[in-house]
């Protein structure tokens, strides 16, 4: 059963407001800031935010085959399979399709004749400003990869739809962005 959409308008509702900010840390990939805030009831508080540029995640699809990359993810201490994804160097903001094509070629060596944007993801909106644009890449041509130094341990391979879904069920694929992008692709296909 499909529920009707309703529009709710909140009149007079206030949101948290920043009244001051200071940078805590910066490197080539992210900035951490601490904001002094005022809550809707007027009480003060502090909010820490991780600022990262928008990333592109690419689902390389060749019929019923999908290309994934595997790499060691230092924060969790495990190797994980996921769709190619990343940001531009030095926190630059690039056109989404250009960034998606760059990440695809860099991590896998693949190029696509068609790059279709199918969705937008907020990584961790309770602590980070980062958003991700999801692209479906088709018309795939294989070539050599051009990985960054940090990606030297990366592997990539083709998997069938049933293999990808089995890997998700068996907790081989646990990357939240990859699983969310898979859902967006399923919605796009219908």
pLDDT > 90: percent of the chain? 74
Q: pLDDT tens across 58-73, in order?
A: 999 999 999 999 999 9
Please tell me the distance from the alpha carbon of residue 67 to that of residue 154, in angstroms, as a whole number. 13
pLDDT given for residue 1 in this prediction = 44
Quick one: CA torsion of 70, 74, 78, 84, rounded to 10 degrees?
-20
pLDDT given for residue 188 in this prediction = 94
User: Could you tell me the two tokens for 75?
Assistant: 């924060």
User: Could you tell me the two tokens for 78?
Assistant: 């495990």
pLDDT for residue 174 is more than 80? yes
pTM above 0.85, yes or no: yes
Average pLDDT over residues 32-57: 94
Query: Which is more confidently placed, 15 or 1?
Result: 15
Q: pLDDT tens across 127-160, in order?
A: 999 999 999 999 999 987 877 767 778 899 999 9
30-34, 152-156, 165-169: range with lowest mean pLDDT: 152-156
Give the SS3 label for residue 106.
helix
**Which stretches within 37-148 are classed as H helix?**
96-108
């Amino acid at each position: 059963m499909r529920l009707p959409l309703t529009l709710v308008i909140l009149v007079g509702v206030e949101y948290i407001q920043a009244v001051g900010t200071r940078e805590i840390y910066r490197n080539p990939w992210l900035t951490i800031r601490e904001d002094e805030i005022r809550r809707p009831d007027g009480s003060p508080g502090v909010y820490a935010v991780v600022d990262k540029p928008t990333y592109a995640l690419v689902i390389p699809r060749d019929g019923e085959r999908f290309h994934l990359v595997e790499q060691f993810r230092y924060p969790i201490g495990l190797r994980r399979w996921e769709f190619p994804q990343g940001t531009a160097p030095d926190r630059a903001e690039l056109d989404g399709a250009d960034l998606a094509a760059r990440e695809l070629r860099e991590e896998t060596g693949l190029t696509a004749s068609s790059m279709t944007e199918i969705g937008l993801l907020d990584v961790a909106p309770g602590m980070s400003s980062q958003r991700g644009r999801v692209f479906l890449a088709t018309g795939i041509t294989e070539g050599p990869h051009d990985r960054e130094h940090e990606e030297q341990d990366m592997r990539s391979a083709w998997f069938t739809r049933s293999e990808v879904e089995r890997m998700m069920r068996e907790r081989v694929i646990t990357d939240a962005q990859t699983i969310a992008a898979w859902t967006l692709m399923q919605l796009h296909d219908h």
